[in-house]
Every structure is written in C-alpha cells, then in structure tokens.
C-alpha cells in the first residue's frame, strides 16, 4: 500500500532528479547528436510561435503521460513520478520560456539573487551559437558565476 508520505517524497525526489537529468540531456543530447533541433534555440527566432527546439517538450512529455496513465491504473508510485516530471516541466516552461525568453509578454524583472543568477547563467549559455563551448546547462540551478569584468573607463554604461 502506498502512503501519502512516500508519494510526496517520490514526487519531490523526481522533481529534483529531473534537474540533473535535464543537465545531462541538455549537455550531451541537445548539444550532441540532436543539435540539429536545439540549434534553432541558439539562433534568432524565425517564427513568432514555434522553433524546432520546441519538439523536445513533446519528447519529454511522453514519459510523463505514460507514467501518469500507469499510475492511475494500478501502479500508484508511478503517478508520483509522472507528476514530479510534469511539475518540473511546468517549472522549466515558466522559467525558461516565460521569464528568460519572454515567449509570453510580461513586465516582471527578477530581483532576487537566485533568479538573477539562473537568468544570467542561461543568457551566458546562449552567447554560444555552436554546439561546443557552451556552459551552464542547468535550467533551474546554476552554480555561482564569476562577476563580469569591469567596464573600461569611458565606455559608457554603469560599471
């Protein structure tokens, strides 16, 4: 018999584990043999709605759907895993597509140190236009980043 505590724990562990899995997939699959799809995300947008990279969302949704289905048909722990994956997918969409890339228009500006750090890490990742040389492959976690170098005097802007 499945307890609520074990389901909640499995949900949380799945959510956290998805960040590690996303890092590995982003580094070795998206910037590896499936670069032909992900490359569209490192280039200026050609379409106001979709890019080839959006197909990854479908690829990653299929296991969640299957696990939720199985979880509602006799395997309750799989429901917790499927829902944890789905929650991560929603968090990814909200952060990556809405906050960073503003695919849904808004005026919110991240003010907290955590949000500024992960937004900055993702923008640094997008400075690389090829599959090699990119850094910061996580979506919801970024290690401390080095401070940007100071601007030379007389170049304008705030240093």
Torsion of CA 95, 96, 98, 100, to 10 degrees: 100
Q: Quote the CA–CA distance of 41 and 30 in Å, as a whole number.
A: 10
> What letter does residue 53 receive in the DSSP assignment?
G
Examine the pLDDT at 130 and tell me if it is beyond 80: no
Report for 28-37, 99-108, 125-134: range of highest mean pLDDT: 28-37
pLDDT for res 159: 32
Please answer whether residues 142 and 117 qualify as being in contact, where contact means their C-beta atoms are separated by less than 8 angstroms: yes
pLDDT for res 20: 92
Q: What is the mean pLDDT of the chain?
A: 84
Please answer whether residues 8 and 80 qualify as being in contact, where contact means their C-beta atoms are separated by less than 8 angstroms: yes
Q: Quote the CA–CA distance of 95 and 22 in Å, as a whole number.
A: 14
As given in the structure block, the two tokens for residue 4 are: 């609520």
Please answer whether residues 122 and 136 qualify as being in contact, where contact means their C-beta atoms are separated by less than 8 angstroms: yes
Q: Mind listing the pLDDT tens digit for each residue in 22-57?
A: 989 988 998 899 899 888 888 877 766 788 888 999
Q: Quote the CA–CA distance of 84 and 61 in Å, as a whole number.
A: 12
For range 94-120, the mean pLDDT: 85
Name which residue leads in pLDDT, 16 or 156: 16
Distances (CA, A) of 79 to 17, 74, 101: 16, 10, 31
Q: Mind listing the pLDDT tens digit for each residue in 1-20?
A: 568 999 999 999 999 999 99
pLDDT for res 157: 39
pLDDT for res 95: 87
Nearest 5°: the CA angle 93, 126, 96 is 10
Whether the pTM exceeds 0.75: the reply is yes
Name which residue leads in pLDDT, 36 or 84: 84
pLDDT for res 150: 53
Name which residue leads in pLDDT, 111 or 126: 111
> What letter does residue 40 receive in the DSSP assignment?
G
pLDDT for res 151: 45
For range 111-123, the mean pLDDT: 85
Please answer whether residues 95 and 140 qualify as being in contact, where contact means their C-beta atoms are separated by less than 8 angstroms: yes
């Amino acid at each position: 018999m499945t307890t609520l505590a074990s389901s909640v724990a499995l949900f949380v562990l799945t959510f956290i584990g998805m960040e590690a899995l996303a890092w590995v997939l982003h580094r070795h699959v998206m910037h590896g043999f499936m670069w032909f799809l992900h490359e569209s995300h490192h280039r200026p947008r050609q379409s106001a709605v979709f890019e080839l990279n959006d197909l990854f969302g479908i690829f990653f949704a299929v296991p969640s759907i299957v696990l939720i289905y199985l979880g509602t048909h006799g395997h309750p722990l799989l429901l917790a895993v499927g829902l944890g994956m789905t929650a991560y997918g929603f968090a990814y969409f909200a952060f990556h597509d809405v906050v960073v890339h503003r695919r849904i228009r808004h005026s919110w500006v991240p003010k907290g140190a955590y949000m500024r750090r992960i937004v900055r890490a993702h923008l640094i990742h997008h400075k690389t236009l090829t599959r090699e040389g990119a850094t910061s492959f996580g979506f919801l976690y970024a290690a401390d980043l080095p401070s940007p170098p100071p601007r030379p005097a007389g170049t304008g802007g705030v240093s």
